[in-house]
Structure 1
């Protein structure tokens, strides 16, 4: 008994000494400056203190997590708001003072003299256009004037909402325009006849309509875009296409060439994945020849005879499961499709001429689950390669790719307690690798150490190694570290949704909030069609409660176990279909 009492006293003394040695400190991750200005009535303060410290912000107790992390929401009043953070450990304190100037929106600033202070064009950037193309203008100038574009188009002053002096109109480019890489003049004239002329910032030139320029794709990552929209994930992709495919260029907006796929279909392509073909090259078109459908031990194939490489797009359908491929510039001259009996993934193949020079190929699948497809050219022969469902739907028969997000200089997000997405994603990925290997799976990894791997390298690595499945591991983040949190799984193609949904359902068993199973996600690691893939945003590293969870190695292993369980559920569902 005396030994037990002595041991308890020693432990208590050591604990007190450890707490006394831990001096109070305040480290902020948001905001990073002491003096701040904002137009929002709500801001957040997040960071870390000593793990055993008590923390107050303007006298209000704030929860400190076992990591030392904290986050707090502040409501501001117009003007200056002083904020005091106090961390206390015993009789010691650390104090940090902040200020937030809450600036109310300024009233509209109207133009007081004869002038043009802003010219906006839509689309934005330098333009290469054809006759018939339209440019939208929005001009800010003195109210009550006449505004002309290129001395041809009068803009009209809009109702005074939010302010007077906003003129708008749509200019139609004509063959008579003398745009030779020039800027367009915009003139404002008042009632006395005085005028001021200014030029657009962007340059405009005319493309030759009679002899269109032809581009040709190069490299392994050429891709088509639906439009000019953009966000942090880039423009919405139609999909990747093979190299050496001619494309008819009809204009350029910024760094994107506009291309004509068909009479009613336009797309865009980045200028760094194409070259110009010699003037006089014919626009791409082809009659189709004979078709052949057959299989080997891993894939089924659809071969379509063409005389030229043509652009294409593909998409997946479910219920029933189909792969649909539109070939632009193709006209059917096919009188038979030969289908061999050695196919295991393909049930049937047919085509329809959707419109002039748009041929649609439909591939009906044997199984409900899509296992991936690839489109490429063998010379001018179009090949659609369809992955067969694995004969053995068990982990010890599959090759599974685990992609640890970020790495090196691509640090990803950070948490209040100075945690790092790149390090935590790697930690969970290594546990997932080990857990899968214990189940007999062959696992390929993007990275097993702390290093940078470009997303383009990742795409090409897995295009060459062709896993059966890919799981990409990340952490989410939000500007709101208090109210936003939860787990989410992301996919792009509807045929790959089952994998993400089964993993998502298992992740929710950990008691995490729902953030959603999100489709059509335009992330690079979700873009391959070659294999089912899912991006797991385990939780929000910005939220101190969830940061505390993910920094716990036992919880990291629980996540790995749930992902493996979700993969198992997915494989079981495939047996039924």
Structure 2
């Protein structure tokens, strides 16, 4: 019997060492939540950790003590060496300890090509995507290779040995061996899907040639051509820049809009709006029409301004659906509508007295193919504005919403207001992940429902874009709020930070808006949140989130 108890005691000691158990059965546990898996190819010099243990425990990351919050949560930012890294996270209490680990492989930063090796590398090579260009366009190329050489590029038989320049290094840390070149395409530079051939000559090492993976086409007979918008969520971008929230937005493009296409870069078509202005649109949003289809053009002969108790409308009949931009000005309050492909043949503008927000309409033929309407607005600023085509017609309708009428005391100012509340994310889109494993989509929904109850108790009419854990299209959330004629749209989120950002120093509350007329409302909300004692994170404008792209509703 003594031998049996000895074995049980030894087993108990072993379990204590492995699982952090104490002889009474209590345990110290530690869970690493962020990152969720071992990053294999990680470039940043630091990585964020987030996890949890029991409240009151101590946590050490590679032997360094880390703050444990009252909930048991902890965060840290670890420095990484190039190559393999093992991070040990330990939790301990007065009765036991536990540990877990994370393995991170950090990729080395980009280095200059060694001067004793003849090479043209794929890294940093331009162009990165297939190009369809026209004579007059500027072709820009680049590669990284052995420093101190002479470089040239060629394309097909039309362009031979065009000299490139090595970018001088300004400091010891700058990359050397970066060669760039430009060429203004000529009418004779006709090509079909040809690679860029790079040629490098280095004294003492010889010479070599390498072709790009991307292909260049210059075919004057293919461009310009007309395309028709086939996506309900299409928008024009100002340039080729990209990011997590997409490129800079020029405006929404309705279904059926005709566009003049003048080239392609990767998956983006170039759109010629006017002789001096171009834009970009996703290839998947466009159906190219047969070559020889007429370009999008229309005369504008008349227009009508009228209003009702909720909004003013300005209607412009067109021959085809043309692209447009609608931009606000704050001082003086004004909207500016640019119609691309339009030429004025205006003989009258009917203006009914029922219009209140739009005080005056004027027009100007800014340039060939661009007709501008200016709408001088009544104070206060507009409560939403938009432009769209009516039904299946080619009649463009500009809408300016009137501000809601607030109830007078002693009634609540929320009395009768319809407030669209959007619990961010949901369903398969879980959002951020908290240190305790909490999902942002759940936090957002809980706050949204609580807020709806508070607003309803004060006379408001809240509507929720989602009532449960479901996947919803972001654009549709806003369209539902617009269809419900909501007075406000508020999307609620619990944001996190990037994997290389210090979470312990990133905190606070913030508000966001995309369109300048809504800045005052966003700022007012932000100041009210700060009065609750929350730390400031900022009032962020020009925010390109999907739910903020439409200006129909503040």
| TM-score tier (shorter) | 0.7 to 0.9
Is 2:194 the counterpart of 1:182? yes
- Structure 2 equivalent of residue 477 of structure 1: 496
CA distance in structure 2 between the aligned counterparts of 1:163 and 1:406, rounded to whole angstroms: 41
Is 2:230 the counterpart of 1:218? yes
CA shift for structure 1 position 62: 3.4
- Structure 2 equivalent of residue 509 of structure 1: 531
Does the residue aligned with 1:203 lie in a helix, a strand or coil?
strand
- Structure 1 equivalent of residue 460 of structure 2: 441
CA distance in structure 1 between the aligned counterparts of 2:50 and 2:505, rounded to whole angstroms: 13
Which of these residues, 519, 539, 544, is aligned with residue 541 of structure 2?
519
Which of these residues, 142, 157, 163, is aligned with residue 154 of structure 1?
163
CA distance in structure 2 between the aligned counterparts of 1:347 and 1:127, rounded to whole angstroms: 47
User: CA 1:22 to 1:412, structure 2 compared with 1: closer, same or farther past 3 Å?
Assistant: farther
CA distance in structure 2 between the aligned counterparts of 1:59 and 1:144, rounded to whole angstroms: 49
Query: Once the two structures are superposed, what CA deviation does each residue of 1:520-575 show, in whole Å capped at 9, x if it has no partner?
Result: 1001111111111xxxxxxxxxxxxxxxxxxxxxxxxxxxxxxxxxxxxxxxxxxx
TM-score (structure 1 length as normaliser): 0.81
Does the residue aligned with 2:220 lie in a helix, a strand or coil?
coil
CA distance in structure 2 between the aligned counterparts of 1:79 and 1:157, rounded to whole angstroms: 30
Query: Once the two structures are superposed, what CA deviation does each residue of 1:21-74 show, in whole Å capped at 9, x if it has no partner?
Result: 752101112455689897766554321001242334456543322321012345
1:353-364 equivalences in 2 (<5 Å): 353-364=365-376
- In the alignment, is the contact (CA less than 8 A) between 1:121 and 1:136 conserved in 2? no
- Structure 1 equivalent of residue 4 of structure 2: none
CA distance in structure 1 between the aligned counterparts of 2:82 and 2:129, rounded to whole angstroms: 38
CA shift for structure 1 position 90: 2.9
User: CA 1:383 to 1:115, structure 2 compared with 1: closer, same or farther past 3 Å?
Assistant: same
1:72-91 equivalences in 2 (<5 Å): 72-74=76-78, 84-91=88-95
User: CA 1:371 to 1:62, structure 2 compared with 1: closer, same or farther past 3 Å?
Assistant: same
CA shift for structure 1 position 514: 1.0
CA distance in structure 1 between the aligned counterparts of 2:40 and 2:317, rounded to whole angstroms: 65
- Structure 2 equivalent of residue 25 of structure 1: 29
- In the alignment, is the contact (CA less than 8 A) between 1:320 and 1:368 conserved in 2? no
1:13-412 equivalences in 2 (<5 Å): 23-31=27-35, 42-57=46-61, 61-74=65-78, 84-96=88-100, 108-110=112-114, 112-118=116-122, 120=124, 122=126, 124-142=128-146, 143-150=148-155, 151-160=160-169, 162-189=174-201, 195-208=207-220, 212-378=224-390, 379-392=393-406, 394-412=413-431
User: CA 1:108 to 1:311, structure 2 compared with 1: closer, same or farther past 3 Å?
Assistant: same
Q: Which runs of no fewer than 5 residues in structure 2 stay unpaired? A: 1-23, 408-412
- Structure 2 equivalent of residue 490 of structure 1: 512
- In the alignment, is the contact (CA less than 8 A) between 1:34 and 1:97 conserved in 2? no
Does the residue aligned with 1:289 lie in a helix, a strand or coil?
strand
- In the alignment, is the contact (CA less than 8 A) between 2:257 and 2:323 conserved in 1? yes
Does the residue aligned with 2:505 lie in a helix, a strand or coil?
coil
- Structure 2 equivalent of residue 530 of structure 1: 552
- Structure 2 equivalent of residue 566 of structure 1: none
Does the residue aligned with 1:437 lie in a helix, a strand or coil?
helix
CA shift for structure 1 position 518: 0.7
Does the residue aligned with 2:468 lie in a helix, a strand or coil?
coil
1:458-469 equivalences in 2 (<5 Å): 458-469=477-488
CA distance in structure 2 between the aligned counterparts of 1:33 and 1:380, rounded to whole angstroms: 53
TM-score (structure 2 length as normaliser): 0.85
Query: Once the two structures are superposed, what CA deviation does each residue of 1:285-334 show, in whole Å capped at 9, x if it has no partner?
Result: 22221221111232211122333321100111223322211111122222
Q: Which runs of no fewer than 5 residues in structure 1 stay unpaired? A: 1-19, 533-577
